[in-house]
Amino acid sequence: MPRLVIISNRLPITINRKDGELHYHPSAGGLATGLNSLDQSLERIWIGWPGQEVNDPEEQEVIRQDLLEEGLVPVFLTQQEISLYYEGFSNKTIWPHFHYFTQYTTYNDEYWEAYQQANRKFADATIPLIRPDDLVWVHDYQLMLLPAMIRQAFPKVSIGFFLHIPFPSYEVFRVLPWRKEILEGVLGADQIGFHTFNYMRHFLSASYRIAGFEHNFGKLTVGNRLINVDVFPMGIDYDKYAFPEINLNGDDSSFSIKQLAKGKKLIISIDRLDYTKGIPNRLLTFEKFLKKYPEYHRKVSLMMLVVPSRANVDQYQELKEQVDKLVGNINGQFGTFDWTPVQYFYRSLNFSELITLYQEGDIALITPLRDGMNLVAKEYVASKEKSKDGVLILSEMAGASNELMDALIVNPQDANGIVDAIHQALVMTEHERRWRLTNMQEKLKKYNVRHWAATFFKEQKKLMEKQQDQQTHQISAEEREQLISKYRTANKRLLMLDYDGTLMGFHNDPQAVQPDGELLDLLQQLAEKEENQVVVNSGRDRHTLQEWLGHLPIQFAAEHGVWVKKDKDWEINSSLNNKWKKEIRPVLENLVERTPGSFIEEKDYSVAWHYRSIDRDLGEKRVREFRDVLLYLTHNLDLQVLEGNKVVEIKNAGVNKGKATDLWLNGTDWEFILAIGDDHTDEDIFKVLPDSAFTIKVGLDRSIANYSLPGVSEVRSLLKEILAQ
Ligand SMILES: O=P(O)(O)OC[C@H]1O[C@H](O[C@H]2O[C@H](CO)[C@@H](O)[C@H](O)[C@H]2O)[C@H](O)[C@@H](O)[C@@H]1O
Ligand SMILES: O=c1ccn([C@@H]2O[C@H](COP(=O)(O)OP(=O)(O)O)[C@@H](O)[C@H]2O)c(=O)[nH]1
């Protein structure tokens, strides 16, 4: 079993100093409680900050030894790091920005500098502990540069990254001056996980638009590495909340909570003090409710628990004052001698108090303006396992709303909607409360925190196997040797080479990919050898191939097999006609008119619509729109539609690179065949070649070729090696 190496900003244990003494207690917040519930049988180490400034080396050593027993490794942050990296870049830049509070985003180079250095500090603490077969998990927005730093030290180790907060829309993310560095940091990981599909697609969109990485159903290739981006909604330790192992009656404060709840309907509200949680909005909504429904005065109370958090960040201090004031206003306005409408606590609760609150709460009012997941919502539902009684009102802006559809889902900005939901919850029948809770509980039981971790773990291992497969698919030194030795002894050799993406790199302007001197020399020398027949089998038109390569002693297939040049002249595939062009052309012209930047390429017996320099998503939308029209037309006209890399090409049916390849296969007993190509039109070549041929796919995509090479420069090196024989 590989070990799990977890790195998060905060350890699940926080240290507090009281009267000069150090105290250890569990950290608040979803990440710590969630990850701490993981299967303890898995060997793991956890590296992170213990939440307290400790400068004395002797004291640091004592803490290190204490934590070691729990498999925890502390990273000590200095006061300056805490204020610039944690309170600064993490909580004044990324946190507000990723939660769409862009008015709070602080742009400060000093913070950014500190963020980089602190990520380096976590890397320095982690790297010496990593073993090559470990599974490394980096967590959250404080450590977005860390995956790439670990990758640099361990090119092969498997790294997972999970973001616990939302990943914002590309339009918001792009505003950050450090967007590219942040993305590249995360892309150092092999598997990247998010709570919801929306966060995932925002990330993929940013990776494409900012760093140029295209994806295929969440899989993308960075350099030589396959990356998996996916959704892994985090669950809770269901049983811990459903069947709490505590004696509720023996606990004084739990008893008091029960007393408070007696004879009234209790609405509970539990969050860290954070502007993302929408606490002031919630209070204003409750005020609205009390105004609209006076009949509920003295019958309903809001028990609001606000857990202190990030107290040194300005907005959090301001928020505290705002909340204090709002609570005062409501209580002053509506309170009576025997009823306090808002019971407000600014502190954290111990587990038994928290459970009592969950169990006593008739309604949980959870209305964050944005929230990565929100585990409180899930914990509330689980704690109703026995009673099956309670109503969850949940913001649609919390990641959890994607799973808890049977809650009363509200828009946190729609105060009237929430007032209605509170009323609906109060009058809801017992039957409805039960079925809503039961449905949600079923989900939470299955998709618990262990399931979350196990799925992430399983997918990361599956990915490792896939990556391994790709590595083995890549031609090894030994196989290269076999290829060379076969080449050496053969007297009749066929070298069938694609052009774009194989011999030359890809470019937005197809005419800008003229062969360079090195390529011309290479082809010239290969073709000069008497035993060799070099064929460039390309989708390009014959005029371009003629102009660029026509002077070389090589043969050609152009336009995906429409034209062939074996001797001096170009010959056409006899089954072709181009009468159909006048019907297709207007369809493509309409595409160009509506899509600036796209263009039509007309070849002798085919027409192509290129969208390589426009937004890929827009291009694909256009292709989808026109696919039906094209299919209808092409069916009547016996044509085929080839969807290539940012291009749709229409031509006569039954003509492709493979058919053209047949022209070289028939009649010659080749003793050595090598075919190299990069896109799916080259698969037609690989298909028709005999098993003895060496077929090589350029890139990491799936292929029926025997081997793969990463890119154009590796193709050229192989050809040079062959030439040296
Ligand atoms: O460490 P702090 O600065 O005190 O903040 C506490 C944690 O808050 C954030 O929690 C997020 O993760 C939860 C679990 O995935 C999720 O339910 C919630 O919506 C998120 O806000 C933060 O991501 C953690 O790093 C902090 O430790
Ligand atoms: O006094 C408290 C109140 C809450 N929590 C825990 O803090 C976590 C809050 O996680 P959530 O995902 O709701 O929000 P976050 O604070 O991570 O943004 C939950 O597991 C709560 O059980 C806690 O430990 N002590």
DSSP 305-326: EEE---TTSHHHHHHHHHHHHH
Phi/psi at 659 (nearest 5 deg)?
A: -60, -40
Tokens linked to 377: 């919502």
Round to whole Å and give the CA distance between 234 and 34: 8
What does the pLDDT look like over 593-614, one tens digit per residue?
A: 889 899 999 988 889 999 988 8
HSE-up (13 A, CA, CB side) for residue 371 = 32
Mean of pLDDT over the chain:
92
Name the catalytic one among 237, 498, 541, 678.
498
309 lines ligand 1 (CB under 6 A): yes
299 Cα: distance to centroid of ligand 1 (angstroms): 34
- CA 410 and chain centroid, separation: 27
Identify whether 500 is a catalytic site residue.
no
Round to whole Å and give the CA distance between 556 and 680: 19
Q: Which of 14, 31, 374 to mutate to test the pocket of ligand 1 (most atoms within 8 A of CB)?
A: 31
Q: Which of 139, 195, 270, 404 to mutate to test the pocket of ligand 2 (most atoms within 8 A of CB)?
A: 270
Tokens linked to 243: 């069947």
Please name the residues in contact with 44: beta carbons below 8 A apart, sequence gap of 6 or more: 3, 4, 5, 6, 38, 71
pLDDT of residue 38: 65
What does the pLDDT look like over 254-312, one tens digit per residue?
A: 777 777 778 889 999 999 999 999 999 999 999 999 999 999 999 999 999 999 999 88
Round to whole Å and give the CA distance between 588 and 599: 9
Ligand number nearest CA of 452 is 1
Contact present, 714 and 707 (Cβ < 8 Å) = no
29 Cα: distance to centroid of ligand 1 (angstroms): 5
Ligand number nearest CA of 49 is 1
SS3 132: coil
Q: Which of 10, 33, 241 to mutate to test the pocket of ligand 2 (most atoms within 8 A of CB)?
A: 33
* Assembly ipTM: 0.94
pLDDT at 547 over 90: yes
Ligand number nearest CA of 9 is 1
374 lines ligand 1 (CB under 6 A): yes
Contact present, 351 and 245 (Cβ < 8 Å) = no
- Name residue 351's amino acid: F
pLDDT of residue 30: 59
pLDDT at 435 over 70: yes
The protein residue whose alpha carbon is closest to atom 11 in ligand 1 is: 164
417 Cα: distance to centroid of ligand 2 (angstroms): 26
Q: For 690-715, what is the mean pLDDT? A: 91
SS3 158: strand
The protein residue whose alpha carbon is closest to atom 23 in ligand 2 is: 28
- Which atom of ligand 1 is least distant from the CA of 162? 15
Q: Which of 375, 378, 397 to mutate to test the pocket of ligand 2 (most atoms within 8 A of CB)?
A: 375
pLDDT at 214 over 60: yes
Phi/psi at 605 (nearest 5 deg)?
A: -125, 25
Q: For 57-70, what is the mean pLDDT? A: 93
What does the pLDDT look like over 303-325, one tens digit per residue?
A: 999 999 998 888 999 999 999 99
The protein residue whose alpha carbon is closest to atom 8 in ligand 1 is: 29
Q: For 321-344, what is the mean pLDDT? A: 97
386 Cα: distance to centroid of ligand 2 (angstroms): 22
Please name the residues in contact with 293: beta carbons below 8 A apart, sequence gap of 6 or more: 419, 423
**Alpha-carbon torsion, ordered 452, 456, 457, 461, to 10 deg:** 150
Round to whole Å and give the CA distance between 723 and 720: 5
Q: What percent of the chain has pLDDT over 70?
A: 96
pLDDT of residue 634: 66
* Strands of 119-232, DSSP E: 135-139, 158-162, 191-194, 215-216, 219-222, 225-231
pLDDT of residue 18: 85
31 Cα: distance to centroid of ligand 2 (angstroms): 8
Query: pLDDT tier at 37 (50, 70, 90 boundaries)?
Result: low
**Closest C-alpha to 242, from 51, 116, 387, 113:** 387
The protein residue whose alpha carbon is closest to atom 23 in ligand 1 is: 164
Least reliable range by pLDDT among 28-42, 261-275, 284-298, 543-557: 28-42
Residues with CB under 6 A from ligand 2: 28-30, 33, 270, 272, 307, 348-349, 354, 373-376, 379
pLDDT of residue 248: 58
237 lines ligand 1 (CB under 6 A): no
- 3-class secondary structure per residue, 550-583: CCCCCEEEECCCCEEECCCCEEECCCCCCCCHHH
pLDDT at 33 over 90: no
Which domains, from first to last, does the chain contain? 4-231 (3.40.50.2000), 239-446 (3.40.50.2000), 475-573+655-723 (3.40.50.1000), 581-652 (3.30.70.1020)
354 Cα: distance to centroid of ligand 2 (angstroms): 10
Q: For 36-41, what is the mean pLDDT? A: 65
Q: For 609-633, what is the mean pLDDT? A: 82
- 3-class secondary structure per residue, 212-276: CCCEECCEEEECCEEEEEEECCCCCCHHHHHCCCCCHHHCHHHHHHHHHHCCCEEEEEEEECCHH
375 lines ligand 1 (CB under 6 A): yes
Query: pLDDT tier at 72 (50, 70, 90 boundaries)?
Result: very high
Least reliable range by pLDDT among 147-151, 172-176, 255-259, 386-390: 255-259
382 Cα: distance to centroid of ligand 2 (angstroms): 14
pLDDT of residue 223: 82
29 Cα: distance to centroid of ligand 2 (angstroms): 4
Please name the residues in contact with 105: beta carbons below 8 A apart, sequence gap of 6 or more: 92, 93, 96, 97, 175, 176
Q: The pTM is what?
A: 0.84
The protein residue whose alpha carbon is closest to atom 6 in ligand 1 is: 29
